[in-house]
Structure 1
Amino acid sequence: MGAAVPSGTDEPNEPSAAESEVTSVVVHASGAVVTRRARVTVPTGTAETTVRVEGLPPTLYEQSLRGRVVNGPRGLRVTDVRLDVGATVHRGEQLPSLRLDLEDAEDQQSRLQDRKYRLESEIEEVAALRAEPPQPRRGDPPRWAPVESFLALAGFVDTRLGFLHERLRATEDQLARADHDVDVLRARLHQSSTALSAERTDPAVGAVVTLASEVTDATDVPDASADAPDAPETREDTSPTGEAGTPADAPAEIDVEVEVEYHVPGATWVPTYQLRLDGTSGAGTLVLRACVAQRTGEDWSGVRLALSTADLLRRSDLPELRSLRIGRAQQEPQTPGWREPPPGLAELFTGYDGAAAAHPAASRGPARPSGPGAPRSMNAWLGGVEDDLEEADLSPDLAAGGAYGPAEPGGAAEAVGYGGSFGGPVPAPGAAPPPAPLAAAAPMSQAHAEPATDRARGRSAPVARSARRKASAPPVPPPSTAPSADMLDYGRLTVAGPDAGAERGTLRPEAAPIATVVTEYRRRAETVGRLPRPAHAVDVRTSAGSFDYRFDTAAPADVVSDGAWHIVPVSEVPVVTESLHVCVPAVDTAVFGTVLVTNTSPHALLAGPADVMVDGDFVVTAALPTLAPGQRQAVGVGVAESVQVARRTHMRESTAGLRGGTTVLDHTVEIEVANRLPYPVVVEVRERVPVSTDKDVRIEEHRARPAWTEPEEPLTGQDGSYVRGARVWRVELAPGRTTKLTGGFEVRLPAGKSVVGGNRRK
């Protein structure tokens, strides 16, 4: 628990650290929204306190940081949340055991490599030993050869090389084992949780939360003070009051719970299912599970886990239609939340400039220069527009005051930096004053308010005539200056001081505190998105279609930050299952077990793999399609060997009609179905009757026994096309029973025509 320090004291307000824990996580298709909760102690009677919530991962997005009070006195709320980044140095005993073992193995590997290099060098030196007799001088007799010394040297070299090679072989064996140990430990460390840092120095990321209280009376905090065992009883009217209107017997501190929410990358999920079937009755249960993988840098232990298909990077606000107008060009609307700079901004620094000019040595920055290119005050810009035109020698187009123009390098407008930082254009010397609301709000002296015609009398006649002609022309709207993304990040905007030159008094983005550190951590976290998906898995953004869904787990879940898939049970889905065996004997006599799954839940089921369990035994992993509420789909569970089908066909050709002008092809189909299972089954046998597109060819069906019907839903082939002329038998067979199905059709065509491929076809 951390204690908050009240603000307003003489000493710097250093917020104390408060430990936090993850309470809930919402995993999206890419990324997650994490909620942490911290319990802090807030002094009573203070208007504002700050506390630093510890434990945040370095991969979080700073602009997504949010905070709120979930359990505290009435009127206490979060007014500001900022990211605070520091550094943490881990000592040897604070590192994970895998990291320490890896360092020991690497040290052993380095020592063995050094030993191997030394042995190899020594072997080269010993092998290079040779007996070199001195060179004989001219005229000297032949010298006696010391054969014993040569043999002794050769023996020494042989013995020494044998010893060194033996040590080298032993060192190479030890080095091979050390390399294997290092590789194993590195793989284990890579697969371990990233929540336990394996580095000597890591960034310590926290959230500095500012709490402000609108009500300082301790009588408004009965819930918080009731938790303290030694807290005195609070009285409302009879107790004397202390400072700031707080009762004297009120508790000095109260416990407050603060929640911090943020968005982190490096998390993903895909749905999986488990279909449990009863082999006798065919009833089943569908259990929704989720394969979750995350490498956010923090372990999720005992959290309320939710799974969402929404895209965190997609805009959620309603787009606005822009009006289409015919007429003069108009200024583009400004960005919502963006405004022009306040009037008289440069006048705020008049006293500072005067003091800096009077005491140049004591000034914090260089004195402001004077002259034609020197910065000018706001009043000079508002009132002395024509004077600036004459000094800057601008063109007559700008003299008319019709548009904002870019400032010339070194010009007077280069020092008026309020416009660019606030989002508006920087006015050029001699440009027209700002729009009416801004210009009217600025006070003007008598000298500045004199008519422009009086001040323009000293100018030449051509320039004056040109200015009058331009003034009669329609005004040109100022160019659109859309703010950058950095300027729209209001949490990072700071006000420049008086020594900032042209930018003083304006807003400018502050450098991100973890921009140089977070890049590598986010790169590692985003590798989760490249994990191989389970078989039959479908991306949730694809299977969800145009709608977004959220699934909450029924129990707290644990997900380790190791970048691997973890199966998390979500809930049991209410469905209705019906067992069915399907056979298409014209193509294959194998009988396929099928389960008709009807989604009776109020929400859709996303596509994903389903592990089919029959009487507790795993059968097959099938692909479950996306099911809307109330929709029914068939899920194949494999071939049923105990249900057998045999098909026989007969074809008889004859003639009919006047003088035998019509050829009749009579086809008869006989199908025998046998059930060898110990329980009754429902078998659906599919056949097809030819469909004629020629008016001279007629198809007549025979009466089937039992009667076949057209399928309730259109059947599709492997290529996705609809099967025309399909017929279906659906029979129920008792255990050990056999039935026969008979059907047929006649094809009548003129005698001069024949079926493509021959008349005698199956």
Structure 2
Amino acid sequence: MSEETGRRWGSTLDSVVVYAQGAVCRRLARGVLPRDGRVRVAGLPRTLDPGSLRARVLGASGVRVTEARVEVASAPLDDGAPDVLRREVERLRDAYAAAEGRRDRQRTLIAEVEGLHPVPPARKREDPHRRTAVDAWLALADFVDERLARLHARLVECEEELLRVEHDLSVAADRLERASTDAPSRHVETTVSAVLTLVGAADGEDPAEGAAEVELELEYGVPGAVWVPAYRLSHRRGDDGGRLVLRASVAQRTGEDWTGVRLALATADLRRRTDLPRLRSVRIGRRQAAPAPSGWREPPAGLSDLFAGYEAAGPRPVPASGSGGAVAGSAAVPVAAAPVPPPPPAPAAPAFAGPPALTGAPPPPGAVYGFAPEGPGGAPGSASQGYGGAPAPKAAPRAARRAMAPAAPGSAASAPPAPSGPPRPSGDELDYASLVLAGPEDQGPRRGRLFPDSSFDAVAGEYRHRAEGVAALPLPPYAVRPRESAGSFDHRFDAAARADVPSDGTWHTVAVGEIPVGLRTEYLCVPSVEEAAYTTLVVSNATGQALLAGPVEVTVDDEFLLTAALPTLAPGGVRRLGLGPAEAIRVTRRTHLRESTAGLRNNVTVLDHQVRVELANRLAAPAVVEVRERVPVTSEPDVRIEERDGWAVPEDGPGEHAPGTRVRRVELPAGGTAVLEGGYEIRIPAGKALVDGNRRS
């Protein structure tokens, strides 16, 4: 085994925590620690967020990780690389184009044959009339009919072939779209590895026997993973409990297949900021300079003269090109004479800052050449990576002196002045392992300076954009996103067994675990709206974890009943789950209104409403029925409403029900009946009347 092979360790994906959007993966790697302590762990996905990489040593307390960074490598695939789906799609596209071309050519031939018609010769004025050649006309018509019949038959075959190829192409394209993104794309394989530096010796290591094995744990975040909860409820009539199985619909396109991983589901937002706010101190007195950032130092003196010999060497030969515009050895424009291109506008993240003179504006007093404070509008020189902070050297290159010359009147006003102050490097700029040095060919402000390498972002940008597309997947029926149903709390659900979720961007159902819940069957009816009873399951959550909103498949006595929407159920909460009408519970409602007068001079109108509700249980088991009625409410001080006893206000609270709601619960034995009587009196002054009349049912 070579030294390079010994440094490259394989890894296996052990566990994944899926958040509302995105996931955190945990990989395990094991190998023999080399003498220099540098290890390369392969197998990381292409959508990896390099800023989220964490590594630590398991078990061996004497070894620790001092550096962890991400490297990307690309290599051409072998001729025998598996790319069956993509090649099949390309073949079907060529076949579809060929079939479409044959169909179009057939239509062209039909149009040409349809244009055949007899044309009589031109007759002069003095020529006598000639007889029409009927046989020739009929022969031409027979030829056209016979030819068109064959062409139309061939056209039908071409159209059928085109439809068949189009169907095969759509199926193959759909399979390619849904295929796992773990496979390499096209003919180039991109590998992402974590380069680690370990120091120390493992416990129990004997230098004479060789190095001991070390186990590493790598943790990183990836986008392109979502989940929604789903449930399966099993219940038996007459029992007070049931089995509620929590399942999750998981979709991911992270670039790696999750095979045999320990899965956990969390409602938290992975992109939420977790850093604590920093309160800057306020001092009264003499102004003090801000301290220099950690890991920053001033550039060496004479940095601008570093390329003086390179520019004095003369023009570089231009290689011959296929266009014939230049030949080898021809004179080229000197590098120093080339105009300095204006620096591009800085992105949202801090970019490298060159000398303020290169921005087209005179340098402010006390300005630095390296790091500069982040200015508004993303002006050049907002921040830098690497060396900076030295005063302007006296000897500057010719190109730089030309850039220092006064600019045009119009351009001076448009160029913002370079901000001054202490340097403010970002985290990427202090990551020295990922910095690259710009060569002498770079004529911009990065020449001879260190700046962050964006090659990884360029490679992973396409994969990340494609991975984040799973957030737009249509949800299953009755499904609710975890952040919408979780409210103000965050919870984590750990799957009981390992699961497999391929990276194909489609929904996959994973069983998480069984949750004990309390169940009881009750019947609910509102006779004033509909004389029918509805079956409901009263679900009570006695566990310490919340149940999120989502679809639930209800099974009663081992028979599938329906799929309903389960609302969010907090610990200790109780909710009703509707199962549809119950034909075995008969409800009848009868009302009677009697109007009379009362008072000293009969100045009060009394409207006596009597309500009679009859219930009949045709089930073979007792049934608990809750009957709901409404009494009128008033805001007039001279209108009184008196209710009859027996009906109560709902215990759920006024916010859960309409004003004036009254309930009454009754337990009906098997085959039994019950009669509920109630009502109310409305007393109003004789000069007033109810809206829409006094006699209303």
Which bracket does the TM-score occupy, shorter chain normalised? 0.7 to 0.9
Match of 2:525 in 1: 583
Offset of residue 289 of structure 1: 1.2
Question: Which residue matches 1:627?
Answer: 569
Say which one has the larger Rg. 1
1:558 CA displacement: 1.4
Per the alignment, residue 761 of structure 1 pairs with 696
Tell whether 2:154 aligns with 1:192.
Answer: no
Aligned to 1:709: 648
Q: How does 1:102-501 map to 2 (within 5 A)?
A: 102-113=89-100, 115=102, 167=154, 169-197=156-184, 199-215=185-201, 220-221=204-205, 246-247=207-208, 250=209, 252=210, 254-323=212-281, 338-339=293-294, 341-342=296-297, 345-347=299-301, 404-405=366-367, 420-421=384-385, 427=391, 479=421, 482-483=424-425, 487=429, 492-494=434-436
Deviations 1:683-715 (A, max 9, x none): 111123333433322222223xxx332222215
1:557 counterpart residue number: 499
Aligned to 2:50: 62
Residues 281 and 124 of structure 1, relative CA distance in 2, 3 Å threshold: closer
User: Does the C-alpha gap of structure 1 residues 128 and 359 become closer, same or farther in structure 2, counting only changes over 3 Å?
Assistant: closer
Using the TM superposition, give the Cα deviation of residue 305 of structure 1 relative to its aligned residue in structure 2, in angstroms: 0.6
How far is 1:358 from its partner?
A: 13
Quick one: structure 1 residues 166 and 341, their matched pair in 2 at CA, closer, same or farther if it must change by over 3 Å?
Answer: same
Alignment-derived partner of residue 511 in structure 2: 569
2:28 pairs with 1:37: yes
Taking structure 1 as the reference length, what is the TM-score of the superposition? 0.69
Structure with more helix by fraction = 1
Give the direction of change, closer, same or farther, for the CA distance of 1:310–1:90 in structure 2 (3 Å limit): farther
Task: Show structure 1 runs of 5+ residues with no match.
Answer: 6-12, 136-145, 222-235, 237-245, 370-393, 408-416, 431-476
Amino acid at match of 2:269: D
The Cα shift of 1:271 comes to: 1.1
CA contact (8 A) 1:39 1:258 kept: yes
Asked if 2 retains the 8 angstrom alpha-carbon contact of 1:666 and 1:745, the reply is yes
Shift of residue 201, structure 1, vs aligned partner = 1.8
Task: Go from structure 1 to structure 2 and tell me whether the alpha carbon gap of 1:340 and 1:80 turns closer, same or farther (over 3 Å shift).
Answer: closer
What residue number does 1:51 align with? Answer: 40
Match of 1:511 among 454, 472, 490: 454
Cα offsets for 1:472-521 (capped at 9, x unmatched) = xxxxx954654467536665334668998976775421122351x33332
Q: Which amino acid aligns with 1:687?
A: E
CA contact (8 A) 2:609 2:679 kept: yes
| Separation of aligned partners in 1, 2:439 and 2:269 | 40
After the TM superposition, which residues 584-663 of structure 1 pair with which residues of structure 2 at under 5 Å, given as runs?
Answer: 584-663=526-605
**Residues 367-422 of structure 1: per-residue CA shift (max 9 Å, x gap):** 999xxxxxxxxxxxxxxxxxxxxxxxx99x98xxxx52478xxxxxxxxx999545
Aligned 1:78-117 pairs, distance under 5 A: 79-89=67-77, 91-92=79-80, 94-96=82-84, 98-113=85-100, 115=102
TM-score by length of 2: 0.75
Instruction: Show the 5 A alignment for 1:66-77.
Output: 66-70=54-58, 74-75=62-63, 77=65
Q: CA RMSD in A?
A: 4.4
- Which position in structure 1 is the counterpart of 2:411? none
Is 1:32–1:264's contact at 8 Å kept on the other side of the alignment?
yes
* Cα shift at 1:323: 4.1
- Which deviates more from structure 2 when the two are superposed, residues 14-23 or residues 546-555? 14-23
- Superposed displacement of residue 179, structure 1: 2.3
3-state SS of 1:629 partner: coil
Q: 1:68 to 1:735 in 2, by over 3 A?
A: same
Distance of 1:209 and 1:17 partners within structure 2: 9
Q: CA deviation at 1:739?
A: 0.4
Offset, 1:121: 7.0
Aligned residues: 613
Contact 1:419 1:426 in 2 (8 A): no
One-letter identity of the residue aligned with 1:204: T
Contact 2:301 2:393 in 1 (8 A): no
Contact kept, 8 Å, 2:386 with 2:430, in 1: the verdict is: no
Deviations 1:432-471 (A, max 9, x none): xxxxxxxxxxxxxxxxxxxxxxxxxxxxxxxxxxxxxxxx
Point out the more displaced range, 72-81 or 649-658: 72-81
Partner SS for 2:483: helix
Aligned-pair identity (%):
45
Contact 1:339 1:422 in 2 (8 A): no
| Equivalence for 2:352 | none
Q: Deviations over 1:164-186 (max 9, x none)?
A: 66555534433332222222222
Q: Is the 8 A contact 2:19 2:227 kept in 1?
A: yes
Using the alignment, how far apart are the partners of 1:121 and 1:695 within structure 2?
Answer: 89
Task: Determine the structure 1 residue equivalent to 2:378.
Answer: none
**In the alignment, is the contact (CA less than 8 A) between 1:418 and 1:504 conserved in 2?**
no
CA apart distance, 1:675: 1.2
Q: What CA distance in whole angstroms lies between the structure 2 residues aligned with 1:527 and 1:263?
A: 17
Aligned to 1:242: none
Three-state SS of the structure 2 residue aligned to 1:611 is: strand
Question: Using the alignment, how far apart are the partners of 1:295 and 1:418 within structure 2?
Answer: 36
* Structure-2 residue corresponding to 1:737: 672
- The CA deviation at 1:590 is 2.3
One-letter amino acid of the structure 2 residue matched with residue 523 of structure 1:
H
Cα distance in 2 for residues equivalent to 1:95 and 1:293: 23
Letter in 1 for 2:652: E
Give 5+ residue unaligned stretches, structure 2: 123-132, 317-333, 337-360, 370-380, 395-418
**C-alpha deviation, 1:670, in angstroms:** 0.8
Corresponding position of 1:435: none
1:468 — aligned with what? none
Secondary structure of the structure 2 residue equivalent to 1:660: coil
Deviation at 1:523, TM superposition (A): 2.6
Q: Deviation at 1:591?
A: 1.6
Amino acid at match of 2:194: V
CA distance in 2, matches of 1:688, 1:522: 57
Q: In structure 2, what is the Cα distance between the partners aligned to 1:161 and 1:684? A: 77
